[in-house]
Each structure stands twice: as C-alpha cells, then as structure tokens.
Amino acid sequence: MNLSCQTFPARIVLGHRVASGQNDNPLFPGGTLKMQAPHFRALGLDLNAYHGGTLNVSIAPLRYRVVAPRLTLRSVKWHPTEPAEDFSFFDVRLLRDGAPPVEGLIYYPHPDTKPTHFQKPDVLELLLPFVSGLSYGAEIRLEVPAEQMLVEASSTPRNLRRARR
C-alpha cells in the first residue's frame, strides 16, 4: 500500500452468507464467489489467494465513498439466469494488535446492477486469505488507500457530500 492510506476502526458483522454459500440458497450452489471466480479470472482477477467467502465489517458511524477502484469489471454475466453485474475492487489491509497485517481486497458489487442482498451503507465486504481468530463483534482496523476510497463521518451535511462529488 502507498503512503496516503487511511486507517479506521471496523467491527466484524454477520453478512447475508451468500458469497460463501453458507445460506444454502439453491440459486447460488457453493456461493456466489465460487460461481463468480472463473468469470473474474477470465477478466484478469484471480481469487485463488482468498478465502471462499467475504468478511463483512461495519465501519459505523463512518461511511465510505468510492473514489477510484483498483479494478472495475463491467457487465459480468456470472449466473445463468441473473442479470450481468458490475464489480469494483479496492486494496485493503486488515490490522490487529499482535498479528501481522493481512492484505486483501474490498469486494464491491455495484448496487445499481446488483439484483438482491444489498449491504447497509456502513458495511464493507472483504476478500482475504483465511484469518484465524476472527469472530462476530470483534474490533479490527482497516487501512485503505485514500485514492481508491474515502472514509468519512456520516454526519457530514448532505449538501457538502454532494458538493464533493
């Protein structure tokens, strides 16, 4: 990661369990990530280094704002019956006291092309190698390049947020 990173707190939260396939939805056998991986690989993103599910974290009361993703994949037709989706990926580093940093990606299915399973505006989905010792409710820190994603207080007045875009 470069020098213009932001570091901020996050808390591990339960996700929809669709990416990992742990929700047993027959529409996504084995999980959405398993189904998406070959399509991502064909477009230049290999997920083999990452665990087969996302780690969901809340950054509340903060919010994130997309600036310039590391990579965006457009119109990915990864499912036989669902519409094509756009996905962006951002560099992230998970930090915990007494443990080495873990490099990964923020997985961001674009809400405007995503048919279901929307995230709250303070939740990020992380693609990481398997990390032992993590549990729901655990407090961690994340580091993200400011050139890719800005993290800011959610109390910023709406008119200021619009002016910054």
Q: Which residues pair with 127 in a beta bridge?
A: 105
- Which CATH fold topology does 5-164 show? Elongation Factor Tu (Ef-tu); domain 3 (2.40.30)
Tell me what pLDDT residue 162 has: 44
**Which alpha helices (H) appear in 15-138, and where do they start and end?**
32-42
Q: How far is CA 111 from CA 93, 98, 134, 135, in A?
A: 23, 36, 27, 27
Q: Domain residue spans in the chain?
A: 5-164
pLDDT digits (tens), the chain, 165 positions:
555 999 999 999 976 656 654 565 656 666 788 889 999 999 999 999 999 889 999 999 999 999 999 999 999 998 888 889 999 999 999 999 889 999 999 999 998 876 665 567 899 999 999 999 999 999 999 999 999 999 999 765 544 444 444
Other beta carbons within 10 Å of 138? 13
Which residue type is seen at 13?
V
Closest by alpha carbon to 108, among 12, 7, 24, 40? 40
